[in-house]
């Protein structure tokens, strides 16, 4: 604080900081409220008048574990990691190619990629279901991994292309003159420069996949149940199990929050989506 006060803009900084904190407090209140429901006993949940103080309980956690929700967490985690990794492996060279090379019909190809993201998922899910039912991909890991590529691969290629375009071509040329192979150039020159972009874009892809509901619901099943799909199981005839729902909802948030927290430097740089010329 002493350091801040010594500079002329120090008090200003305090003002802006307070402003952001107040804004965050208001915006995040609903989330805080939901988080408090994780340990709220059922009879205090929607008590009238609202109960602010209560004796915390761990009942909701034990129910969630009893019902095996941690398996859904694991499923979600593996599924989203694999699907995102595949997107990065397949998508990075494509994004690079779109940015670097002249190709015939490049614009058309690129619009095709954009177009893949446009159809409302509700409308694609039935064709998917009917095709999957025929080839036996329903309720399978592979099936969902593939389905997630519909929206993630196109997004990834689209965004990463902008990053690739900003890479200084001179470096690659210099490396080529040194006699490096293409693979070497890609690994040692292109990839390090692209890291922020890849991290930011793939984190977004991961979040999209992590939160996806409709595909996971219709194409998944007993064997592959992701975390969002497990939530409606808490709508029971004893009413909605709000406490448990809060537990699952907040649990779903934690891994993503952790990833964003750890990788935020890359993400903040990468969220420019390569569209700002720095």
Partner 1 sequence: MASASETMTAAGPQGAGMRERAWYPYLLIAPSMITLVVVSLAPFIYAIYLSFHEAKFGRVRDFVGFDNYMTLLTDERFWNSIGVATTFVFIAVPIEFMLGLIGALVLNQNVRGRSILIPLLFMPTMMAPIVVGLLWKIMLAGSWGFFSYNVLERFNILGETSIFASPDLALYALIFVDIWQWTPFMMLAFFAGLQALPLGPYRAAAVDGANPVQMFFHITLPMMTPLLAVIGLLRFIDAFKVFDTIYILTNGGPGISTETPSILANKMTFEFWNIGEASALAVLVWIAFFAFCSIFYQVAKKRLNAF
Partner 2 sequence: MRKIWCFAAALAATTALTVPMVVSSAQPVLAQDAGFYAKAGAPYKGTTIRVLDEITPLQETLSKIVPDFEKETGIKVEWELLNHFEVINKGQADMLSGRGHYDAIMLHGAQLGPMLSAGVIMPLDKFVADPKLSDPGLNAADFIQAPYKTTAFSDGKQYGFINWNYNHVYWARADLLNNPEEKAAFKAKYGYELAPAKTIEQMRDIAEFFTRKKGSTLAGQPLTSDFYGIVLEGIKGGSTFSNLWVNFIENYGGDLLDKDGKPTFDSPQTVAALKMWRELWTFAPPGIAEYSLVDVPTVMGNGIAAQSLAWSDFVLGIDKPGVSPYAGKFVYAPIPAKAGNEAHRHADAEPSVTVISAASKNPEPTFLFLQWLADKKQQDKLIEIGQGGVPIRESSWAAPAITGSTNPTLFAAMKSSLDVATARPKMEKYPEMFDAMSGIAQQVGLGKMTPEQGAKEGQAILVKLCGGKSCTL
- Answer for which of 119, 240, 254, 275 binds partner 2 (CB under 8 A) is 240
Nearer to partner 1, 111 or 223 (CB): 111
Is the link from the previous residue into 49 a cis peptide, with omega within 30 of 0? yes
Sign of the CA dihedral running 207, 208, 213, 216: negative
Number of residues that bind partner 2 (CB under 8 A): 22
Residue 157 contact among partner 1, partner 2, none, beta carbon within 5 to 8 Å by kind:
partner 1
Residue 236 contact among partner 2, partner 1, none, beta carbon within 5 to 8 Å by kind:
partner 2
Residue 192 contact among partner 1, partner 2, none, beta carbon within 5 to 8 Å by kind:
none
Residue 26 contact among partner 2, partner 1, none, beta carbon within 5 to 8 Å by kind:
none
- Answer for which of 48, 104, 123, 179 binds partner 2 (CB under 8 A) is 48
By CB under 8 A, residue 123 contacts partner 2: no
- Answer for which of 2, 89, 130, 276 binds partner 2 (CB under 8 A) is 130
Nearer to partner 1, 67 or 272 (CB): 272
Listed ranges 176-184, 193-201, 204-212, 232-240: which one lies at the site for partner 2 (CB under 8 A): 232-240
- For the chain, what is the radius of gyration of the CA atoms? 23
The rounded distance, in Å, linking the Cα atoms of 223 and 125 is 19
* Terminal CA-CA length for the chain: 31
- Answer for which of 38, 64, 137, 138 binds partner 2 (CB under 8 A) is 138
By CB under 8 A, residue 232 contacts partner 2: yes
Residue 121 contact among partner 2, partner 1, none, beta carbon within 5 to 8 Å by kind:
partner 1
Block residue for tokens 């107040």: 22
Residue 239 contact among partner 2, partner 1, none, beta carbon within 5 to 8 Å by kind:
partner 2
The rounded distance, in Å, linking the Cα atoms of 222 and 44 is 33
Q: Are 41 and 54 in contact (CB under 8 A)?
A: yes
In 3D, which of 119, 113, 117, 108 has the Cα closest to residue 95?
113
The rounded distance, in Å, linking the Cα atoms of 268 and 272 is 7
Nearer to partner 2, 136 or 179 (CB): 136
Sign of the CA dihedral running 135, 139, 142, 148: positive
Block residue for tokens 């219709």: 218
């Amino acid at each position: 604080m002493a350091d801040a006060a010594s500079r002329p803009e120090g008090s200003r900084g305090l003002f802006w900081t307070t402003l952001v904190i107040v804004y965050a407090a208001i915006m995040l209140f609903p989330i805080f409220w939901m988080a408090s429901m994780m340990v709220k006993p059922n009879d205090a949940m929607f008590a009238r008048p609202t109960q602010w103080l209560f004796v915390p309980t761990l009942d909701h956690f034990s129910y969630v574990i009893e019902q095996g929700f941690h398996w859904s967490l694991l499923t979600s985690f593996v599924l989203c990691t694999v699907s995102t990794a595949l997107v990065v492996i397949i998508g990075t060279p494509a994004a690079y190619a779109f940015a670097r090379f002249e190709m015939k019909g490049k614009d058309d190809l690129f619009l095709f990629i954009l177009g893949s993201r446009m159809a409302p998922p509700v409308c694609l899910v039935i064709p998917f279901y009917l095709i999957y039912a025929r080839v036996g991909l329903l309720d399978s890991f592979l099936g969902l991994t593939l389905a997630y590529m519909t929206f993630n691969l196109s997004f990834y290629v689209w965004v990463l292309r902008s990053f690739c375009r900003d890479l200084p071509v001179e470096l690659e040329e210099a490396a080529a003159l040194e006699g490096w192979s293409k693979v070497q150039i890609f690994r040692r020159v292109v990839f390090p420069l692209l890291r922020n972009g890849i991290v930011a874009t793939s984190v977004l892809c991961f979040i999209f996949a992590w939160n996806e509901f409709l595909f996971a619901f219709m194409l998944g099943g007993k064997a592959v149940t992701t975390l969002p799909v497990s939530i409606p199981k808490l709508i029971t005839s004893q009413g909605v199990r709000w406490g448990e729902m809060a537990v699952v909802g907040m649990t779903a948030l934690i891994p993503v929050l952790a990833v964003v927290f750890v990788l935020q430097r890359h993400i903040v740089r990468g969220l420019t989506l390569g569209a700002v010329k720095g």
